[in-house]
Structure 1
Amino acid sequence: MDTEGGVTDRAAARLSAMEIAQLRASFSSITHGSHGPSHLAQLFYAALFSEHPQYRALFPISLEEPARKFTRALEFVVDNLEEPGPMTELLAQLGRDHRKYGITAGHYEAAGSALIAAVRSALSHVLWTPTLDSAWSGLVSLLLTTMRDAADADDLPAAWTATVVGHERRLDDLAIVRLESDQPIPFHAGQYLSVQIPQRPRQWRYLSVAIPPNPYGQIEFHVRRVSGGWVSPAIVNETRVGDRWQLASPLGGLEVDRDNGLDVLMIGSGSGIAPLRAQVMEMAQHGNNPRVHMFVGGRYPRDLYDIEALWELSLSNPWLTVVPVSEEDENPWWHTTPDPEPPPGMHRRLHGRLGRVVAEFGSWADRQVQISGSPSMIKTTVYSLRHGGTPPELIQHDPLV
């Protein structure tokens, strides 16, 4: 990419230590500035639509969700430049996922130019040196080349269609949606899919699959209504049996490594238990598994909406230990359903912040760790675990969900 922002084939040339340092310092300056972490995304969309106004039709009315995903993905990339494996895999997954929009080489070139323009605008207070230009040009080239190459190499459909066959309001603000896809979707337990529902066209959302893949194309999502959200309220309140959903390429890297000899710690909060649930359900189909400690948390006891199913799974699989945790000891006054009693031998519910409770059990330095939940929950839990001695390289969580 030259200094004018045009994309060239500076393929996946390895960035130097100085370039990585400059990228991190400049990116931190943007995301921690007075305009907030989404400032770069806003500038990117402004530059893209100013130069190519026809591209606006590819995006939903509200850009809040795309901006959030854009910022998280870029942050993950910048944080993983020394060890590019996870970063490259995420970019390849995003490239395959973006085929659902009908993206072409021209779109990638326009996006590269817009991103460079956005970075320059955001860093107007910083001297734009040749080294900084080279660093950002190299990163943008790496981003676009990896995504484009993965998309070009994928011969699977850009999206699949599935029919809603079940919709259960497990809580007033949480629904379990079951679908059957027209064709099996090649995902693995622990991944998430990009979905589009008929009530909200062009508004794609990432949802984790709560059951392992099966030959019948059955899929299950656990969806919590987000206050002020565009899509989750429609899924919880308006989805009906017979609705036809669009599902795009699977993403995510949560997976139990059976070869490293380590047992497993899983930490899930609210509907964030879905990818963990799918994995232990799949593990139950095997005869030999590592030990799994699974902490299931929520603010209130009511938020442990699937605890009985997990207890049943634990009763028939002695390698699985399920520990329920709630911040509050009692449900809010308006929730009248009694809490289930744990079966004999099951761990009773503990009280406190999930990450802090887990850290009180020890360092967990001998486990492979997976965390799934809201961004704030993941951040505080990672902090608690690292503070307690858990090596960061053992901790997994997906950057976009």
Structure 2
Amino acid sequence: MDARKISLVRTTFKAVAAADDGPERLVRSFYAILFSHYPGTREFFPATMNVQRDRLLRALGHVVENFDDSELILPFLAQLGRDHRKYGVADEHYIAVGNALVTALEDFAGGEMWTEEVDLAWREAIALIVSVMMEAAHLEAGPRTWTGRVVEHKQVLRDVAVVRLQLDQPLRYGAGQYVGVSVPGRPRMWRYLSPSIPANDQGQIEFHVRRVSGGWVSPAMVGQTALGDEWLISSPLGALGVDRSTGRDQLMIGSGTGIAPLRAQVMEMAMRGNNPRVHLFVGGTYPCDLYDLETLWQIARTNPWLTVIPVSQEDTDPWWHIDPTPITPPGMHQRLTGKLGEVVAEFGAWADRDIQIVGSPALVQTVKYRLQAKGTPLANIRHDPLA
């Protein structure tokens, strides 16, 4: 697309965003048109559409804002296309979505704003989005989904569970990637989780799940999962992992269950003979939130390239945590107290490291800000999409 057409698309979208309740009204109109004109598409979506509406808005806003950055947008759209395979989406469904979106935008803008030139610009933009997504979906090999049977469910904190599953066939993923997960009782309500162990030929997989207050899915995963339950797993996504081509040592920073993809990476590294140095900061609000330190310490004991540094904001556990198990194993790096971003930055800029950050969007942004303020090159910092 040329600069003129990109400008028209952005101007139209910004006008929608500036209107009172504009984005929400646009998305509601889009889904009403889609389901009315193409009723077969309704089966791809969950009964409650709140999360789906938010995701569409974020994705569309991200694409419109970065349309002129092909190195960013093309991989983003390709990943969306691969991810949509789990729904069973076919080419005609992409076309239906594109037509519905143009109709919703025209209805919303109307009048003098929606000119023939604007219409053509949006149709070209949507054609590009659809073609990249469809091509990526067509190129993806393997099944749309895997079925995993729950073989162990262990609640390690009152709001955190470790769930182990046996897949119907092995799933190849890179340590650090994430997958879509759908559980019984919450059909079509997909959530993204990072496996906490490397891929293996036995088809075993493990997830660490934190219950989100008011969430639709995570409370069921943590509190209602039973042995024998069957979860659906989608193709792996994301690009976190150790890039050995840089030759740099690693800084890994994880908070809460965000430790899972970093844990999988150091486990995979422990199976190799030659590794870069890794400093792994594990954070939480309370000492008990560092629930997996024993595993990480066992890896560090036999792998001198790995240093694990536990960090908690509070010195003591909350009153409701009664597990007497020591949080910091004997001989491990002394647990530090403070906010994770501040503690990591106190060690310096880590400018010679490849850096991965995993946790809540607020945690990721805070740690990035602290490191940048210390002089860390932004190009050295990686994390999964915050949305």
Same fold (TM over 0.5): yes
Tell me which of 273, 292, 295 is aligned to 1:287. Answer: 273
Give the unaligned 5+ runs of structure 1: 1-14
Q: 1:391 to 1:378 in 2, by over 3 A?
A: same
Mapped to 2, the partners of 1:113 and 1:336 lie a distance apart of: 57
Amino acid at match of 2:201: P
Aligned with 2:232: secondary structure?
Answer: strand
Partner of 1:56: 42
Letter in 2 for 1:107: H
Aligned residue in 1 for 2:88:
102
The equivalent of 1:297 in structure 2 is 283
Deviations 1:315-336 (A, max 9, x none): 2111111111122222211112
1:159-308 equivalence runs, <5 A: 159-308=145-294
1:252: how far off? Answer: 0.9
- 8 Å contact from structure 2 (residues 147, 233) kept in 1: yes
Rounded to whole Å, the distance in 1 between the matches of 2:108 and 2:345 is: 39
Could you tell me the TM-score, scaled by structure 2's length? 0.89
CA displacement at 1:31 relative to structure 2: 5.5
Q: Percent identity?
A: 54
Q: Hey, what does 1:116 align to over in structure 2? A: 102
* Paired amino acid for 1:261: G
Aligned to 2:332: 346
Measure how far apart 1:175 and its partner are.
0.7
Q: CA deviation at 1:257?
A: 0.7
Aligned-partner Cα distance in 2 for 1:37–1:293: 42
Q: 2:53 corresponds to which residue?
A: 67
The answer for the alignment partner of 1:384 in structure 2 is 370
Quick check: 373-382 or 68-77, which moved more?
A: 68-77
User: Are the counterparts in 1 of residues 179 and 233 from structure 2 also a CA contact under 8 Å?
Assistant: yes
CA displacement 1:238-281 (0-9 Å, x = unmatched)? 11111111111111111211011111111111111111111111
Aligned-pair CA distance for 1:337? 2.2
Match of 2:175, as an amino acid?
Answer: A
Change (3 A) 1:339 1:35: farther
Q: What TM-score does the superposition give when structure 1 sets the normalisation length? A: 0.86
What is the CA deviation profile of residues 5-46 of structure 1, one whole-angstrom value per residue up to 9, with x for unaligned ones?
xxxxxxxxxx44565566566656656775487665444334
The gaps in structure 2 that reach 5 residues or longer are none
CA distance in 1, matches of 2:251, 2:104: 40
Give deviations 1:280-306, integer Å, cap 9, x for gaps.
Answer: 110111111111111111122121111
State the secondary structure of the residue aligned to 1:259.
helix
Cα gap change, 1:138 to 1:178, in 2 (>3 Å) = same
Q: Please report how far the alpha carbon of residue 232 of structure 1 lies from its aligned counterpart in structure 2 after TM superposition.
A: 1.0
Amino acid at match of 1:394: N
Indicate whether 1:142 and 2:128 are aligned.
Answer: yes
* Separation in 2, partners of 1:117, 1:244: 39
1:102–1:18 Cα change, 3 Å: same
Tell me the alpha carbon deviations over residues 342-372 of structure 1, each in whole angstroms, 9 at most, x when there is no partner: 3455322222222222222222222111111
RMSD of Structure 2 on Structure 1 (CA): 2.7
Deviation at 1:202, TM superposition (A): 1.9
* Structure 1 residue 329 corresponds to structure 2 residue 315: yes
